[in-house]
């Protein structure tokens, strides 16, 4: 096992929150490390972009370890990560969790067909170098992410046949009215709306079935009690975001509705641990940056500089709350999966077998649901929405690793 370094402040995640936290702490003179599992900093929202914040991180006095996935937190002050097939030990005095969020999927018939992707998922894959010019894309699910994704696909030369938003018009109208108190956001929204003026946007609309033989050919959507079928090459669908709270849970941090609980200083319930960004509650990149900076200043021992950002955080939080209300998932979506719809993709467990189980642990033991490589991140989040099942904590390894990686850790000094 090798040492990845000893840090005054160690940040997990190099998205908007993690970058802001690292730069803030480094600016205070702390010895800062950032560990991120992606190929390069930027998280999801700035993936593959030459964003000024990423430059700021590169220029900051911080050691950035990309391509490294944290898999254990065996004792206070120590994280274990795997990179390039090797185990790396990272020691810290203060830890900032900026592990972001992942997409939520509600399984529907055919959602497991090749050609069906997450909304952010398709965007990420295209950013990875896939030219989708001329492809026909349907975007479905919920949230501002659908618009951002559709805008991106359009820019890439794909034809977006439809944006299907499950929220109802009145909810969306309330949200639009609320934008008036956030002028910057209103301007952004208007510009986005203009760019998407030729793309059909349907409210109260959601996917009922993805059809195709071995790969996607068309999507059947339900809207106002009627069904319509749209031929398409690609379906980009996502039903909101879920915090990646697993590392925080492993450390013992208190969570609330799946998000890590923090106080005004972005401190968690466990000593010396901070959290910022989507992992503390879904709120968008701007809020993530402010929270990250507050966490960075506080972890580096300069709470005065953090206090200057409290007003900005409050404003960004209010906007986030209005979004959460507008895009709340409607109860009809609980009827989306059919009895033979795959819910656990890793172990091919269908809805018919799961809906009669007593809870998460029972389902795991009876069906192997949640025991595959995603460790319940995909199916567990779906089942929490569908049946209200809480998953029971997190255990190491947080990601699948070769047994040797854990044995290597045993030989630490």
Partner 1 sequence: MPDPIRIRVDGAVIETAPGTTVSAALLASGRLATRRSVTGMPRGPLCGMGICYECRVKVDGVEHVKGCQTLCRDGMEVQLD
Give contact residues for partner 1 (rule: CB under 8 A). Answer: 37-39, 44, 67, 69, 102-103, 105, 112-118, 120-126, 128-131, 214-216, 244, 342, 345-348, 372-374, 377-378, 400
Shortest spacing between CB 147 and partner 1, in angstroms: 18
Shortest spacing between CB 245 and partner 1, in angstroms: 13
Contacts with 289 (C-beta within 8 Å, 6 or more apart), sequence order: 16, 17, 19, 20, 53
3-state helix, strand, coil in the chain (%, to 5): 35, 25, 40
Question: Which C-beta is closer to partner 1: that of 126 or that of 171?
Answer: 126
Question: Which C-beta is closer to partner 1: that of 72 or that of 299?
Answer: 72
Question: Which C-beta is closer to partner 1: that of 123 or that of 204?
Answer: 123
The distance of Cα 370 from the centroid of its chain, to the nearest Å, equals 18
Shortest spacing between CB 369 and partner 1, in angstroms: 12
Shortest spacing between CB 25 and partner 1, in angstroms: 25
Shortest spacing between CB 116 and partner 1, in angstroms: 7
Shortest spacing between CB 201 and partner 1, in angstroms: 23
Question: Which C-beta is closer to partner 1: that of 180 or that of 403?
Answer: 403
Return the structure tokens found at 117.
């992707």
Contacts with 165 (C-beta within 8 Å, 6 or more apart), sequence order: 141, 142, 146, 172, 201, 202, 203, 204, 205
Q: By C-alpha distance, which of 314, 254, 255 is closest to 283?
A: 314
Question: Which C-beta is closer to partner 1: that of 45 or that of 300?
Answer: 45
- For residues 93 and 79, give the distance between their C-alpha atoms in angstroms, rounded to a whole number: 11
- For residues 221 and 286, give the distance between their C-alpha atoms in angstroms, rounded to a whole number: 33
Question: Which C-beta is closer to partner 1: that of 163 or that of 350?
Answer: 350
- DSSP 3-state of 209: strand
> How do strand 159-165 and strand 136-141 relate by DSSP bridges?
parallel
The DSSP code for 46 is: T
- E strands, 66-172, are 69-75, 78-83, 86-97, 101-103, 116-117, 136-141, 159-165
Question: Which C-beta is closer to partner 1: that of 1 or that of 83?
Answer: 83
Shortest spacing between CB 174 and partner 1, in angstroms: 30
Shortest spacing between CB 211 and partner 1, in angstroms: 14
Shortest spacing between CB 6 and partner 1, in angstroms: 27
**Residue 229 contacts residue 261 (beta carbons within 8 Å):** no
Question: Which C-beta is closer to partner 1: that of 184 or that of 400?
Answer: 400
- DSSP 3-state of 180: helix
C-alpha distances out from residue 23 to 18, 160, 406, Å: 9, 38, 32
A 10 A CB-CB count for 159 gives 16
Question: Which C-beta is closer to partner 1: that of 125 or that of 338?
Answer: 125
Shortest spacing between CB 145 and partner 1, in angstroms: 12
- DSSP 3-state of 62: strand
Question: Which C-beta is closer to partner 1: that of 15 or that of 27?
Answer: 15
Q: What is the DSSP code string of 344-378? A: ETTTTEEHHHHTTSSSHHHHHHHH-TT-STTTTTT
The DSSP code for 286 is: H
């Amino acid at each position: 096992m090798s040492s990845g370094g000893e840090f005054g402040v160690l940040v997990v995640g190099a998205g908007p929150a993690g970058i802001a936290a690292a730069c803030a702490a480094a600016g205070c003179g702390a010895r800062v490390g950032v560990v991120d599992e992606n190929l390069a900093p930027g998280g999801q929202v700035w993936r593959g972009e030459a964003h000024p914040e990423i430059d700021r991180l590169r220029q900051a006095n911080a050691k950035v370890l990309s391509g490294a996935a944290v898999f254990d937190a065996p004792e206070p002050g120590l994280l274990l990560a795997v990179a390039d097939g090797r185990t790396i030990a990272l020691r810290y005095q203060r830890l900032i969790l900026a592990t972001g969020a992942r997409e939520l999927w509600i399984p529907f018939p055919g959602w497991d067909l090749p050609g069906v992707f997450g909304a952010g998922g398709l965007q990420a894959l295209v950013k990875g170098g896939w030219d989708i010019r001329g492809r026909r894309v349907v975007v479905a699910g919920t949230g501002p992410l659908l618009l951002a994704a559709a805008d991106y696909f359009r820019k890439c030369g794909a034809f977006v046949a439809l944006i299907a938003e499950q929220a109802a018009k009145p909810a969306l109208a309330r949200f639009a009215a609320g934008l008036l108190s956030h002028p910057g956001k209103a301007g952004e929204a208007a510009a986005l709306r203009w760019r998407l003026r030729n793309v059909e946007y349907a409210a109260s609309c959601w996917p009922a079935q993805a059809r195709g033989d071995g790969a996607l050919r068309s999507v059947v959507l339900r809207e106002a009690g009627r069904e319509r079928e749209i031929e398409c090459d690609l379906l980009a669908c996502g039903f909101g975001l879920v915090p990646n709270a697993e590392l925080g849970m492993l450390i013992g941090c208190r969570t609330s509705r799946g998000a890590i609980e923090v106080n005004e200083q972005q401190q968690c319930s466990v000593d010396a641990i901070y959290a910022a960004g989507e992992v503390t509650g879904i709120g968008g990149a701007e809020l993530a940056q402010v929270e990250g900076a507050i966490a960075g200043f506080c972890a580096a021992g300069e709470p005065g500089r953090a206090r200057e950002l409290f007003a900005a955080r409050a404003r960004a939080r209010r906007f986030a709350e209005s979004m959460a209300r507008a895009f709340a998932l409607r109860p009809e979506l609980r009827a989306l999966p059919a009895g033979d719809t795959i819910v656990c993709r890793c172990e091919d467990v269908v809805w018919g077998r799961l809906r009669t189980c007593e809870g998460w642990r029972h389902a795991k033991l009876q069906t192997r649901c949640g025991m595959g490589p995603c460790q319940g991140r995909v199916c567990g989040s779906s089942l929490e929405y569908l049946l209200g099942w809480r998953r029971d904590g997190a255990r190491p390894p947080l990601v699948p690793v070769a047994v040797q990686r854990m044995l290597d850790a045993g030989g630490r000094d």
